[in-house]
Each structure stands twice: as C-alpha cells, then as structure tokens.
Amino acid sequence: MKASYFKYILHFKQASGTSRGILTDKETWFIILEKEGKRGIGECGILRGLSADDRPDYKEKLLWACQNIHLGEQKLWEELIEFPSIQFGIEMAFLSLKSENPFVLFPSDFTKNSKSIPINGLVWMGDEAFMKAQIEDKIAQGFSCIKMKIGAIDFDKEMELLRFIRDNFDEKTIEIRVDANGAFDKNEALDKINQISGFKLHSIEQPIKKNNTDMMSVLCKNTKIPIALDEELIGVFSKAEKEKLLQKIKPQYIVLKPSFIGGFRGTLEWISIAEKLNIGWWITSALESNVGLNAIAQFTFLQNNLMPQGLGTGSLYTNNFDCPLTVSNGELWYDKNKDWNFSL
C-alpha cells in the first residue's frame, strides 16, 4: 500500500465572521491511499487556532503516518491520539479504500437518496444588516432551525436580531440555536443568558471560553437556556478524561465535530458517555471540504439522531469539490445524479 498527502486551500465565497475573527481561507489536507489499482481518500480537517493538533509538527506527523501506513488503521489511530484530524483522515481513507465507491463509506437510505438529514441554517457574524439578510435568506430557503453566531457585535443588536425572528416566527415554526464560541465574559455570561432566555432558544453553544470548568458547571446548573459544549471537548483525549469532564460540568448537550475529536471512533466514544449521563448531542462539520462533509454526513445518518445536525457548510467555498450533497428545504440530500469532481 502506498500513502501520500496533499495540502489544499479552500477559499470562502465571502469573509465569514466568528468571535475568533474573520475567515477568508481554510487550510485542509488530504491523505490518499493506493492499493492494487484502488484509491482511498481521507480529509484531515484542521482549523488553525482551534484544533488540538494545530502544532508546528503537524506536517511532520502527516508524513510519519504515510510512511507508517503499513501499521494499519487501528495502530495508527492509537499512535495519533493527539492528532485528531489526522486520525479522522486515516480512518476515512481506509474506509474509502475498502468501499466499492471511494465516496460511499456508509451505504444507507441516505446514499440511496431515499432519506435526508435535517440540518440547521448557519448565520455568520457580521453587522446587523448582514446578519438579518442571512436570517431572511435561510428562512426563505425553508430552514426550520437557525443557528446564529453571536458575540462579535453589540449584544443589544444581537438581541434585536433574535427579537426580529421571534416577532415573525414562534419556537414551533423556527428553532433558534445561538453559538457564542466562548465570547461571553465568564462574570457576565449568566446575566446575558438570562436576557436572551425570553426568545425561547433551543440552546446556546459554548457561552464562555473552554477550560473554565468550574464556571461552566455553575452556568449549566443555573441556566434558563440549555447549554451545549463545543470547544470544551477539544483536546480531551482519553475516555476517563471525557467522563470526568461531562460528569463535572453536566451540560445539557454536546456538539460533536469528528475532525476535532478523533474521527468516527472518537465521536462514538463521546456519544456513549453522553447517553449514559443523559446528555443530548448532535454532530456538525468543522468547515471541511465536501470530501470530509460527505463522510461526516453519511456517518451521522446512521446514528439515527432526528435533531437538526450542523452539516450545511458545503456551499461556503469558491473552490469546493462538486459532489452529490444537496440542500433542499433545510434538509441534506445525496443526489445520485450528481457526480464527484475531485482532483488535486
């Protein structure tokens, strides 16, 4: 078996804002396996400044993984424990190599185009007019769940945007999730959560920065809005550490990004712990190309979680790869009439 890797830069159609800054480009890496005329493709979806494996030796570790591909998927996964995005890329590439179609990793009613996955419509940060236009656009596209990133503009203006949605749509018509990406000051977070609780939100993701576990525990105990941990899960590698974290904080939900938490195996481990503790969960992409998004979507469908998932990022880039994934009326479909155009 031969293994190689390539870097690829994805370009956003328009600058996308988060509380950590403006994104214009997104770096990703592909691992290609070749054996007996077949090819397997995996994506290592690193996000600089956020991923646990954003380290100076990242490329060196990719090279090591390719040079030691003979060790096999299980041994490599164990050796790459501190490099979750490479774990995911290796895992995906081996599945791709074994599959009849290198892009159909988990055959199901989803890949047969007979069933879909409900997803949320993502509203990026920006000025009030830009965010309002996005909200109107997502609702017009048929989304019944809106996820709004908050924490970058004036809080009162964000309150007005939430009021705008609720003045026109009740919580049974439009579900609202907000994602603070850790933007709230830990001493003001509970007050801000209480202020927006009147808008009947589904949840708020990561209200304060990670590693403030004492305060996050207090917030989860006293909140009027269910809290979902997101960034808090990054860099937590062992099962014992995962259990300790969730038992201490006791969040209402966790948000699972396979590229950040060790691929499908890491995701399933978090799910098993969360369900044992009666903690809800959903899965979301982490700005991967359509290659990674496709793998995550197929895996997500098999988990039978009926909540809207965070898988609507395929149309963000000017140079993404054409693929069968299609969004219609707030649902993700796998259109078998559309072909892949993957070339590096």
pLDDT value of residue 152: 72
Give me the phi and psi of 14, to 5 degrees please: -145, 150
In a structure prediction context, what are the per-residue pLDDT tens digits for the chain, which is 344 residues long?
999 999 999 999 887 765 566 788 999 999 999 999 999 999 999 999 899 999 999 999 999 999 999 999 999 999 999 999 999 999 999 999 999 999 999 999 999 999 999 999 998 878 888 889 989 999 999 999 999 988 877 899 999 999 999 999 999 999 999 999 899 999 999 999 999 999 999 999 999 999 999 999 999 999 999 999 999 999 999 999 999 999 999 999 999 999 999 999 999 999 999 999 999 999 999 999 999 999 999 999 999 999 999 998 888 899 999 999 999 999 999 999 999 998 75
Structure tokens at 150: 């908050």
Residue ranges and CATH numbers for the domains of the chain are: 2-98 (3.30.390.10), 117-334 (3.20.20.120)
Which one, of 164, 266, 249, 179, lies nearest residue 214 by Cα?
249
256/272 Cα distance (integer angstroms): 12
Residues labelled as active-site residues:
149, 257
pLDDT value of residue 140: 93
pLDDT value of residue 205: 97
Structure tokens at 219: 């917030």
Which one, of 177, 227, 191, 187, lies nearest residue 206 by Cα?
227
CA 11 to chain centre: 18
206/229 Cα distance (integer angstroms): 5
